């Protein structure tokens, strides 16, 4: 059995100084499966190397919605598509909409999101979705372009989670569940069936501890919080998350 970090940026520059030590720590703790999210060339180079060295690591690549400020020309999508065909990632992501940090690039975000979803559908790859303050548009686009995959770092309502699940998506929860006043995440986690639930750190980002670099091994804390909240054993939660992860990366269609 393995713990899974369903969303981490292991190729990030923040891990450049001690990446191999960090990976040795995570695998020693039992976090032997992960989705490595690569947005950009630097992250991708490391991501490819790690995917090739660890059978439990899945490689995701995508143009992040926050990353369209300087280059949102259609030629960027063509270049991306070419690299995807060369690298053959296991997933397209993270992709989506972020109206919180980048409201003024909304239209470009939608164009890039739609194009990457279409590419994933064409290549029969799952997707990893980033959606922040953009739930209605995200849902409308996912309805329009059928794909499959994961809603990452979910922080929305019970109702919205149900609508994503109706489209076949799984819901991934991060460290927000660790905050003592995490009432809303607790309600949502309780509402998501175990066979649709995943757990992630978003390392090195989203650490619940100030000034701490989030690491994949910290995902175990989130497993513990969710197992307490759902009143199920860690073994049951681990088995469910692993089955879900395996299903996303093995099935051709859901």
What helix, strand, coil percent values describe the chain, rounded to 5?
Answer: 50, 15, 30
Query: Rounded CA gap, 169 and 49, in Å?
Result: 28
Q: Distance (Å, rounded) from C-alpha 166 to C-alpha 158?
A: 12
Angle between helices 135-144 and 158-166 (to 10 degrees): 10
CB 204 to Zn ion: min, Å = 10
Q: Provide the 8-state DSSP code for 13.
A: G
Write down the least CB distance from residue 158 to Zn ion, Å: 23
Nearer to Zn ion, 43 or 217 (CB): 43
Contact segment (CB under 5 A) with Zn ion among 133-141, 184-192, 198-206, 227-235 equals 198-206
Task: Give me the sign of the Cα torsion angle 12, 18, 24, 30.
Answer: negative
Sheet with 91-98: list strands edge to edge. Answer: 3-8, 31-38, 57-61, 91-98, 127-132, 149-151, 170-173, 197-199
- Taking CB atoms, the residue at the shortest distance from Zn ion is 202
For Zn ion (CB under 5 A), the number of binding residues is 1
**Nearer CB in complex with Zn ion: 202/217:** 202
Taking the complex as a whole, the smallest distance from the CB of residue 155 to Zn ion amounts, in Å, to: 13
Exposed/middle/buried for 2, CB within 10 Å: 0-12, 13-18, 19+? middle
* Nearest-approach distance from CB 100 to Zn ion, in angstroms: 14
Binding mask 150-189 for Zn ion (x = CB under 5 A): ----------------------------------------
Pairing mode of beta strands 170-173, 91-98: unpaired
Q: Compare residues 65 and 185 and give the one whose CB is closer to Zn ion.
A: 65
The smaller minimum CB distance to Zn ion, of residues 67 and 202, is found at 202
Specify the residue, 202 or 215, whose C-beta has the smaller distance to Zn ion. Answer: 202
Q: Which one, 191 or 207, has the nearer CB to Zn ion?
A: 207
* Per CB under 5 A, 43 contacts Zn ion: no
From CA 238, how far away is CA 244, in angstroms rounded?
10
202 is a site residue for Zn ion (CB under 5 A) = yes
Q: From the CB of 54, what's the least distance to Zn ion, in Å?
A: 19
Residues that bind Zn ion (CB under 5 A): 202
């Amino acid at each position: 059995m393995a713990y899974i970090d369903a969303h981490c940026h292991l190729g990030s520059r923040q891990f450049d100084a001690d990446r191999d030590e960090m990976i040795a720590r995570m695998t020693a703790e039992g976090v032997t499966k992960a989705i490595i999210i690569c947005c950009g060339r630097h992250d991708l180079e490391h991501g490819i190397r790690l995917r090739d060295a660890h059978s439990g690591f899945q490689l995701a690549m995508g143009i992040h919605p926050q990353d369209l400020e300087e280059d949102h020309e259609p030629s960027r999508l063509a270049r991306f598509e070419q690299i995807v065909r060369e690298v053959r990632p296991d997933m397209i992501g993270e992709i989506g909409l972020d109206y919180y940090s980048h409201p003024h690039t909304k239209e470009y975000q939608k164009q890039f999101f739609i194009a990457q979803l279409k590419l994933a559908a064409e290549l029969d790859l799952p997707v990893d979705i980033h959606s922040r303050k953009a739930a209605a548009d995200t849902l409308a686009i996912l309805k329009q372009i059928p794909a499959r995959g994961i809603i990452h770092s979910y922080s929305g309502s019970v109702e919205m989670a149900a609508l994503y699940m109706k489209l076949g998506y799984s819901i991934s929860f991060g460290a927000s569940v660790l905050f003592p006043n995490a009432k809303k995440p607790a309600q949502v986690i309780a509402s998501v069936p175990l066979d649709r639930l995943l757990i992630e750190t978003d390392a090195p980002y989203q650490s619940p501890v100030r000034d701490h670099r989030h690491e994949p091994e910290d995902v175990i804390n989130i497993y513990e919080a969710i197992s307490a909240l759902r009143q199920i054993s860690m073994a049951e939660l681990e088995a469910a998350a692993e089955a879900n992860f395996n299903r996303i990366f093995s099935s051709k269609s859901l």
